[in-house]
Amino acid sequence: MSILNSKFDTPYHTAPFSKIKNEDYLPAFLKAIEKARAEIDAITANQEAATFENTVEALDFSGEELDRLSSIFFNLNSAETNEHIQKIAQEVSPLLSEFSNDITLNEALFERIKTVYNDRNLLDLTTEQATLLNKKYKSFSRNGANLSEDKKLRLREIDKSLSQLKLKFGENVLAETNNFEMHITEEADLSGLPEGAKEAAQQLAESKNKDGWLITLDYPSYIPFMTYADNRELRKQLAIAAGAKAFKGDELDNQEHVIQIAKLRHERAQLLGYKTHAHFVLEERMAKTPEKVQDFLNELLEKAKPAAEREFNTLKKFAKELDGIDTLQKWDGAYYSEKLKQKLFDLDDEQLKPYFKLENVIDGVFTIAERLYDLKFEEIDNIDKYHEDVLTYKVTDTDGNLVSIFYADFFPREGKRNGAWMTVYKPQYVKNGINDRPHISIVCNFTKPTKSKPSLLTFNEVTTLFHEFGHALHGMLANTTYPSLSGTSVFWDFVELPSQVLENWCYEKEALELFATHYETGDVIPMELIDKIKASATFHEGMQTLRQISFGLLDMSWHGSESLDTITSVKAHELKAFENTKLYPDVAENCMSTSFSHIFQGGYSSGYYSYKWAEVLDADAFEYFLEEGVFDKTVAKKFKDHVLSQGGTDDPMTLYKRFRGKAPKPEALLRRAGLIEK
């Protein structure tokens, strides 16, 4: 039997990465599916009357081995993939989709769940049990259990196709990212680029046996070049390459995949009795309806657009005065924004980076978590890693009890997709009286150390680390009974609250002084720089808000429309969606949808608005901390008890009100963003 099909005989039952071979996965999946199927059969074959325990609870704890295996495999497919793993993913995904359909379309199982559901008012269920029962019933009714046989068959076909299309979409984006290199041989072409970025580009070239410097589409390479490089023509070349990912009409093109995914999701929703995919998705979100999302985005648009247009006009004027730029293009935005920011605030990332050595920032976020939530973090070397760059920690409470195992993976590499995310290798749950603790991971793409410098983070990378660590805390501090309600298993427009609220500590003097020390001198970041960070926090907030709104509107245009049959051009559809948020001239060679992995590969379809939605929650929540003190233990305990530990055990607005004492209002966000008077 494969190592993947048995309980791991490892410290803390962690994944035995070094012992797993690629060829182990497919047989292990087949075996785990077989086991999970037997567990389902045992529930339906039970001769006793259906009860919450023998049906709903039994279902939630079924397939544990399969869930664990899926977590390991698909996490590696994002963080440490290769052609072999991608091929296995294409084989495995339809099998998992088919098995998932076998459960939700299992009539005998649904009948048992329906029996318990219909008797729910007679049962003495806890809030968590009632939530689980409701969730399980809906997972059947919302996924075809009430359909006729021919419609069930079509649903299976759609789900199988979607699982493969989404994988192919992501593979194409990763391949396009890896395929592009800008090879620079003249040092003059690097004018303006900070020394650290130049050194990293030189090291990358060396690693590929090339002279000169290499710039890629990986964020730590791409962002500094777009922000600092004086050579406008090369910035243009790089920006067009980034925007043209999977939009070139070749074998890596995603245009047809985008249209197919959107149409199949729409057909699936209509099969299930919903007007659109967005109507289907949003029924299980705080927002509830596409109309409410549109109203929310339009309300923010109304407040942000005048500010964004003012900021853009100021930026255009500045670029014209500085360099005679007649038409400000997308490849000019970051460059002139940085120059204007330096002029207005006498502040740039190069001044700040020496104070944000990666190891210090990690220590800082750990210290903040310790002060707020009484956690201890100890680096350990006795558990397996999937790559040598990964750091591993044991997280305990003040009594030394295990809270979580924590993996952190910070640097870009070829087998890793761009961006930053938090994920789970094993969820928390309580079974047979034992509180089984979670294994949590964060994955980022930060600037690697060079021969002469450690990894020094930009301020944006600092906030990214805090953001992902906020998600990690949500997973680590989970304290629920059932795995499907644990940690980040919450409504999608609530999941960003813990991550976004933690970003606020990056701007607070009391927090910064804990970790922002100069990597060479050890000096604490000067108060003057802290003041500048705070003063510049709302710089171009109007433009940033407009950008996020535009992504939300694009998402809703693909998933909330009933007229997808009329779409013949992905680009034309996108331009229409961006109509009211457009600032820069369009770039003909570029298209966002073809690499918009959040909505076409990840879980954000009909949910991209949730970043702004959660910002309303986080601004309101952080005002509470500010009122009492950013390290106030009482407020922190309320946040831990009512939000971080509760997972999806209750309605998110109920949880939020228990913490805050009232519903959130958007004014806190608008005040923080400088879009209304404080």
Within 13 Å and on the Cβ side, how many CA atoms surround 327? 6
Please say if the pLDDT value at position 661 is more than 80: yes
pLDDT value at position 190? Answer: 97
Please say if the pLDDT value at position 144 is more than 80: yes
pLDDT digits (tens, 9 = 90+) for 286-305: 999 999 999 999 999 999 99
CA-CA distance, 100 to 33, in Å (whole number)? Answer: 10
Residue 400's region, left for phi above 0, alpha for psi from -120 to 50, else beta, is left
pLDDT value at position 678? Answer: 60
Q: Which CATH architecture has domain 3-104+106-142?
A: Up-down Bundle (1.20)
Please say if the pLDDT value at position 163 is more than 70: yes
pLDDT value at position 557? Answer: 96
Q: Mean per-residue pLDDT for 433-446?
A: 97
Q: Which residue is associated with the tokens 């990964």?
A: 390
Residue among 57, 171, 468, 508 flagged as catalytic: 468
pLDDT value at position 528? Answer: 93
* SS3 label, residue 51: coil
Q: Is 562 tagged catalytic?
A: no
pLDDT digits (tens, 9 = 90+) for 74-108: 999 999 999 999 999 999 999 999 999 999 999 99
Backbone angles phi, psi at 212, to 5 degrees: 75, -135
Backbone angles phi, psi at 253, to 5 degrees: -75, 140
DSSP letter string, 69-129: HHHHHHHHHHHS--HHHHHHHHHHHHHHHHHHHHHHT-HHHHHHHHHHHHTGGGS---HHH
pLDDT digits (tens, 9 = 90+) for 9-34: 999 999 999 999 999 999 999 999 99
pLDDT value at position 346? Answer: 92
Nearest 5°: the CA angle 47, 52, 53 is 75
**603 pLDDT tier (thresholds 50, 70, 90):** confident
pLDDT digits (tens, 9 = 90+) for 29-79: 999 999 999 999 999 999 999 999 999 999 999 999 999 999 999 999 999
pTM value?
Answer: 0.89
Name 391's bridge partners.
408
- Nearest Cα neighbor of 435 from 447, 426, 444 is 426
pLDDT value at position 1? Answer: 64
Please say if the pLDDT value at position 648 is more than 70: yes
Sequence spans of domains, the chain: 3-104+106-142, 180-236
**562 pLDDT tier (thresholds 50, 70, 90):** confident
**669 pLDDT tier (thresholds 50, 70, 90):** confident
Q: Is the dihedral of CA 331, 234, 177, 466 positive or negative?
A: negative
Please say if the pLDDT value at position 315 is more than 90: yes
- Nearest Cα neighbor of 442 from 499, 491, 504 is 499
CA-CA distance, 362 to 465, in Å (whole number)? Answer: 8
Mean pLDDT lowest for which of 407-416, 512-521, 602-611, 669-678? 669-678
Q: For the chain, what is the radius of gyration of the CA atoms?
A: 25
Give the whole-number percent of the chain exceeding pLDDT 90: 92
| Residue 257 in tokens | 């995949």
pLDDT digits (tens, 9 = 90+) for 367-401: 999 999 999 999 999 999 999 999 999 999 999 99
pLDDT value at position 667? Answer: 84
- Nearest Cα neighbor of 644 from 491, 488, 540, 436 is 488
Mean per-residue pLDDT of the chain: 95
